[in-house]
Chain A
């Protein structure tokens, strides 16, 4: 037992006690309640980082296995240009393009087959089935078809995000009740009007569900596709080569960028969801 390990234990116990105390408080105002809701997970995350740092020094883990958070931070700061180039290649080009195209395509096809119950019955089981398949596996084929650069990654992302979007949109469009549809019919509303005024609003929660799932799927798809061949830039490329060159701190820096990008992306979609489906019970309670 050396000092670092004791420090790790002390930090852990201290932070946990603090959190236990915080969640038992009965704050009077809504703001204070909200603040506790934010502070508690932040303390937990900071504790994890601190304990990680202490354990790395305490057990003298070689940096090739697990670098300390501080070392990763230094590396991150020092290699911003490389990270930015990778981010541009993987996130801005592959993920965003593929995400928009895949989700848009899924949505459009869902609208197209909306009027045909026969097609819905045929496509939905297949769509559900494909969503459960390891779609990442098509990456080598797409790399062969579309070359090493970002279009092949876009293709992978499009295929991965298409089916969740299709299945969810069709389900969402079907979620308006018969009463409401009959009401629209008594108003002599045509298909387009019913769609815009009734069925799309009813479908938004489902569509946002797909958008959220797809936000992480898109990033995973793009990075994994880069393992199968890429020009010498990109997050997946950097991770696989720097692992080979034993620069684990660089890999962690890349992971940190991916984590932040993924979280921000997810957060933006969640914010948009709040804004669009403000009427939904799960949002009204402030628990979306």
Chain B
């Protein structure tokens, strides 16, 4: 074995690109394999015989393929983001914004709720003993199962639009934050706490000067998980509203009308949104840690 200097390209970029290339190859093969029966079927109905050389190009350009080819999805994405005005109901940017606003609102509320609960749990023994098991148990309930009901019930008492979806995101996102923050707020060791004690620091001072800074790395790690599942919550929250607006609505209407390309485009948009959100939190994480002097 030769030990060489680690290079970003060879150790990080190249393997990922290779795997992506392999996935793309498999995808194209699958497109041909999955869509060919339809082409053969069409040809049989028309009474013609198609050769393999004729089938392959046709599988890449079907209107409602079983598996769309990547270029079709990119074309659809281009068509619905760049080529359409943002205000149009057919614009994916508009739908993404609807979902994003619910996600961010729910994420914000979930973060505040999670931090408050964690502070309470760390400072009050009764809350710790009685609340913590239920916080964990609450997550074994598939809240997404209740999502449609929350939406419909809130709608019937006149609350509709952003808030119901945001509430589902809140419910999903508060959990990782509570768990992470409780761990983080308890992470300063006994020596440091004793030091604060010898300084005669009040509970508030101990909290702001010791516990809070110590918990920040844990907070950011939790935030990354939380924002990703907030997005899932917002998307699922859009399902029962009858496919009006948002990425979830696009998925549902695509599923109703067999518009596979539309589903895939919405899926890719959601994936891109999740990636951007998580990386924004990641950037904030490194920035804050740098300012705190944790990383050179």
Residues of A whose CB lies within 8 Å of any CB of B are: 16, 19-20, 22-24, 36-37, 40-41, 43-45, 48, 64-66, 118-123, 125-126, 129, 132-134, 136-141, 143-145, 215-216, 219-220, 223-224, 227-229, 235-236, 239-240, 243-244, 248, 251, 254-255, 258-259, 262-263, 265-266
Q: For the complex, give the distance between the alpha carbons of A43 and B129 in Å.
A: 11
The 7 closest A-B pairs by CB, nearest first: A122-B15, A140-B255, A44-B130, A122-B19, A121-B15, A262-B140, A41-B133
Q: Is the CB of B149 within 8 A of A248?
A: yes
| Smallest Cβ-Cβ distance to B224: which chain A residue | A132
Q: Given that A41-B134, A224-B236, A239-B149 are contacting pairs, would A137 and B142 also be in contact in the complex, using a CB cutoff of 8 Å?
A: no
User: Inside 8 A of B274's CB, which chain A residues have their CB?
Assistant: 132-134
Does more than half of chain A's interface fall in helix, strand or loop, or is it mixed? helix
| A122 and B18 contacting across the interface, CB-CB below 8 Å | yes
17 A-B contact pairs sorted by A residue (CB < 8 Å): A22-B129, A40-B126, A65-B157, A123-B19, A126-B19, A134-B232, A134-B270, A137-B248, A141-B260, A143-B255, A215-B140, A220-B145, A228-B251, A243-B240, A255-B141, A258-B145, A263-B137
Tell me if B's interface is mostly helix, strand, loop or mixed: helix
Q: Contact: B270 with A137, CB < 8 Å? A: yes
| Complex Cα–Cα for A270 and B228 (A) | 25
Chain A residues with Cβ below 8 Å from B12 are 121, 125
Give the complex CA separation of A78 and B258 in angstroms.
39
Residues of B within 8 A of A44 (CB): 130-131, 134
User: Which residues of the other chain, B, contact A228 by a CB distance below 8 angstroms?
Assistant: 251-252, 255
Number of A-B contacts (CB under 8 A): 167
In the bound complex, what is the Cα–Cα distance between A227 and B239 (angstroms)? Answer: 8
Chain A residue at minimal CB-CB distance from B254 = A140
Quick one: which of B152-167 are within 8 Å of A by CB?
152-153, 156-157
Contact A216 B139 (CB under 8 A): yes
Beyond the given A137-B247, A235-B145, please list 20 additional residue pairs across the A-B interface where CB-CB is below 8 A: A16-B126, A23-B128, A40-B126, A41-B131, A64-B156, A119-B19, A120-B15, A121-B11, A122-B17, A123-B19, A133-B271, A137-B270, A220-B145, A229-B255, A243-B240, A244-B152, A254-B145, A255-B145, A263-B140, A263-B141
